[in-house]
Structure 1
Amino acid sequence: MTNANKRLYEEKLLSADKAAEVVKSGDKIFYSEFAMFPHALDEALAKRIDQLYDLELYSVSFTNVPKVVEADPKQEHIIMHDWHFGGLSRKLSDQGLCYYVPLCYSHGSRSVHKYVENDVAMICVAPMDNKGFFNLGTSNSFTAANLHKASTIIVEVNSSVPQCLGGNSENIHISNVDYIVEGNNNPLIQLPIIESDPVNCKIAEHIMPEIEDGCCLQLGIGGIPNVVGTKIAESDLKDLGIHTEMLVDSFVDMYETGRITGARKNIDRYKMVYTFAMGTDKLYNFLDNNPVCASYPCHYTNDPKMIALNDKVISINGAVEVDLFSQVSSESSGIRQISGTGGQLDFTMGAFGSHGGKGMICLPSAYIGKDGKLHSRIVPALSRGSIVTTPRSVVQYIVTENGIALLKGKSTWKRAEALIEIAHPQFQDELIKEAQEMRIWVRSNRIE
């Protein structure tokens, strides 16, 4: 560390309580995203919430319930917004304490630059390096865009944060920071390991034959992508590449078993490209100062045109419900927001544009509801209020435990037929009747 940077560090170093005094009524505040929650700054701001009014708080997928929101259950002082719901934001939304910001993830940086005001950015970072840079850690996404818009930037140093190499926009220099807080070095969130079940394993078995040597993978979050990752690690596939939105533990397994080399990628060759990472310490330790991994902003990772530059892109994401018109709802259950658009639409479009690419959306064919009864996830029409995440004009493949339906290039009745074929057998006859009433079924082509 140079003397100049050391001097700057000492000049800008404050307690969390002192730094929180920067916030004034009417401010819009950005917290760093996903696993990079700024604990000390959040706690300090919560202490003075009664002194402030008309605050707005933004982040992407809060992994901790903000103390500042807990301190204001009647929303008299602060309103919370989230660009992508996780479990915590979903629960807060159910209580009327959090609001979803609809967003195609590739639009994140541009949306912030064009439409979002940001008065104070409070971000968790790794300790400063000897060149005066603070690493943004496991979440690049659109942090850089928010820092660019912020009038005041406060960093909370956390020694638990791995140094995640770029890519680009993975650092901020001390000269661009207004205040520094040394936090409590909270460990990063540990995502629970989702145990595989027979249905997810069967879905993964249908996907595996579609993956060949040299494919470039994107895996979403959830049980099915995790099982696919495990099966790939146990396979004899070789020279797989990674260009994904989220990096999870299963990518480490695939790399360490030699399945991932990135040798056949057309861009970022030999690099595992991602925009945020969440998992366990296995993943965070793997990321730390690892030149194999490249952190980029979401406007790079999720741009369908960038995705399509690699050949044989395989995109694997989940869904909540698919209707017979082939509309996919992946982010809501009726009117209840449960996640977000995220990168599903981006990567489905990118995979379609990729030479030999395949965009796969996966879901169990049925589920047991709160009433104890079995319900179909393939339905005549989406439930009232359900949000269309991937429109029928974009969807390529739908996968259930009963098979794969290729929908691209097919008419409405052929799509309905293909979807009914992979629906749960208990509901197929009823779906046929509904399709006939909807006039998207040709009787002569009835499934026997």
Structure 2
Amino acid sequence: MNASSTGRSFGSCLPNWRELYKAREIKAEDVALKLIQPGQQIYIDSGVSEPQAIVKAMVEYAKAMIDVNIIQFLCLRDKQYFDESFGAQDVFRHNAFFIGADSLREAVKKGGADYTPIYLSDIPVLFKQRRIHLDTAIILVSPPDMHGNCSFGANVDIVKPIADSAERVIAEINPFVPRTHGDSFIHMDKIDHWVYNDSNDLLEFNYDPPNEVATSIARHISMLVEDESTLQMGIGTIPNTVLQYLENKKHLGVHTEVFSDGV
């Protein structure tokens, strides 16, 4: 059953787009078995926009791959590129710009993965100026609209400049991806290969209940926030918990790249 048959389509699609761009359609396993070469550096779309079918295939066929460097902003799912049962930890070297999944945090602690601390706003220029070379960008997008444009959906962040800078773009096209407006589109002509996946809904992210330490820190931070302050909220349990203690503040503003549930 696809998204259209369940009434879950998000906007008008280009009629017969799959036939129109059939020549570039591949299977998810082709990414691992045919396209990614030894020693290449790839970017995998982040957060809720992780291309699940392609990532699953990469992990399952990890033993067929050699020395692949993965760059990702935010990984939400545990036990993927460092899953010992698949031998993936001997194939992939993961470099994260933000540590999300607990297994990634442990891998960094043990030296099995890397963490590059950097402001989100500073990341695009690294790729635009080719200071970080990128062989392949693997992204998640919506089906193309009447003009052939695919939307990056719910998680635009740094993916557009990265897709523009990569030598090759592989897209997982999922009809559950919502169309978001603004500078958040990529044309099908700029996608070298695509995988269709209507079996997976988008990933969801929920914060775990804060522990005593996080609650105590959040309470102290909230006392430093004055009325009429402008808030910039980061990602994580503590920033989200701080918001629970701001209910009595007045005339607060928000200028932030992240909207958590607390906002």
Superposition TM-score, scaled by structure 1 size: 0.49
Structure 2: which 5+ residue stretches go unaligned?
1-12
Amino acid at match of 1:145: P
Aligned to 1:163: 179
| Mapped partners of 2:143, 2:54: distance in 1 | 16
Q: Once the two structures are superposed, what CA deviation does each residue of 1:227-271 show, in whole Å capped at 9, x if it has no partner?
A: 442344x44734x543212211122xxxxxxxxxxxxxxxxxxxx
2:27 is aligned with 1:27: no
Task: Classify 1:144/1:205 alpha carbon distance in 2 versus 1 (closer, same or farther; 3 Å).
Answer: closer
2:76 is aligned with 1:83: no
1:147, distance to aligned residue in structure 2 (A): 0.8
1:25, distance to aligned residue in structure 2 (A): 1.5
Equivalent pairs counted in the alignment come to: 243
Amino acid at match of 2:165: K
1:73, distance to aligned residue in structure 2 (A): 5.1
1:41, distance to aligned residue in structure 2 (A): 0.5
| Mapped partners of 1:223, 1:44: distance in 2 | 31
Task: Classify 1:201/1:5 alpha carbon distance in 2 versus 1 (closer, same or farther; 3 Å).
Answer: closer
Aligned to 1:108: 123
Structure 1: which 5+ residue stretches go unaligned?
252-448
2:146 is aligned with 1:135: no
1:3, distance to aligned residue in structure 2 (A): 5.4
2:242 is aligned with 1:242: no
| Mapped partners of 1:80, 1:226: distance in 2 | 27
Aligned to 2:4: none
Q: Once the two structures are superposed, what CA deviation does each residue of 1:344-401 show, in whole Å capped at 9, x if it has no partner?
A: xxxxxxxxxxxxxxxxxxxxxxxxxxxxxxxxxxxxxxxxxxxxxxxxxxxxxxxxxx
Q: Once the two structures are superposed, what CA deviation does each residue of 1:130-171 show, in whole Å capped at 9, x if it has no partner?
A: 3322221232222122212222211112344333333x2x22
1:223, distance to aligned residue in structure 2 (A): 4.4
1:185, distance to aligned residue in structure 2 (A): 1.7
2:142 is aligned with 1:92: no
More RCO (CA 8 Å, sep 6+) = 2
2:165 is aligned with 1:153: no
Aligned to 1:225: 239
1:179, distance to aligned residue in structure 2 (A): 1.6
- Of 68, 75, 82, 1:55 maps to 68
Q: Once the two structures are superposed, what CA deviation does each residue of 1:29-62 show, in whole Å capped at 9, x if it has no partner?
A: 1100122222211122234332332221110121
1:219, distance to aligned residue in structure 2 (A): 1.4
Q: Contact 1:194/1:222 (CA < 8 Å) preserved in 2?
A: no
**Partner SS for 1:44:** helix
**Partner SS for 1:60:** strand
| Mapped partners of 1:90, 1:181: distance in 2 | 30
Task: Classify 1:193/1:80 alpha carbon distance in 2 versus 1 (closer, same or farther; 3 Å).
Answer: closer
Task: Classify 1:158/1:91 alpha carbon distance in 2 versus 1 (closer, same or farther; 3 Å).
Answer: farther
Task: Classify 1:78/1:236 alpha carbon distance in 2 versus 1 (closer, same or farther; 3 Å).
Answer: closer
| Mapped partners of 1:205, 1:28: distance in 2 | 42
| Mapped partners of 2:94, 2:38: distance in 1 | 15
Query: Which protein shows a greater Rg?
Result: 1
1:205, distance to aligned residue in structure 2 (A): 4.7
Aligned to 2:49: 36
| Mapped partners of 1:82, 1:224: distance in 2 | 20
| Mapped partners of 2:88, 2:58: distance in 1 | 15
Aligned to 2:27: 15
Percent identity of the aligned residues? 23
Q: Contact 2:82/2:89 (CA < 8 Å) preserved in 1?
A: no
Q: Contact 1:196/1:223 (CA < 8 Å) preserved in 2?
A: no
1:217, distance to aligned residue in structure 2 (A): 2.2
Q: CA RMSD in A?
A: 2.7
Aligned to 1:384: none
1:109, distance to aligned residue in structure 2 (A): 0.6
Q: Contact 2:48/2:155 (CA < 8 Å) preserved in 1?
A: yes
1:16, distance to aligned residue in structure 2 (A): 1.0
Task: Classify 1:100/1:182 alpha carbon distance in 2 versus 1 (closer, same or farther; 3 Å).
Answer: same
| Mapped partners of 2:16, 2:89: distance in 1 | 46
**Partner SS for 2:30:** helix
Amino acid at match of 2:96: D
| Mapped partners of 1:39, 1:196: distance in 2 | 30
Q: Contact 2:81/2:89 (CA < 8 Å) preserved in 1?
A: no
Q: Contact 1:128/1:134 (CA < 8 Å) preserved in 2?
A: yes
Amino acid at match of 2:216: V
| Mapped partners of 1:42, 1:157: distance in 2 | 13
| Mapped partners of 1:196, 1:81: distance in 2 | 28
**Superposed counterparts of 1:297-446, under 5 Å:** none
Q: Contact 2:99/2:115 (CA < 8 Å) preserved in 1?
A: yes
Q: Contact 1:5/1:174 (CA < 8 Å) preserved in 2?
A: no
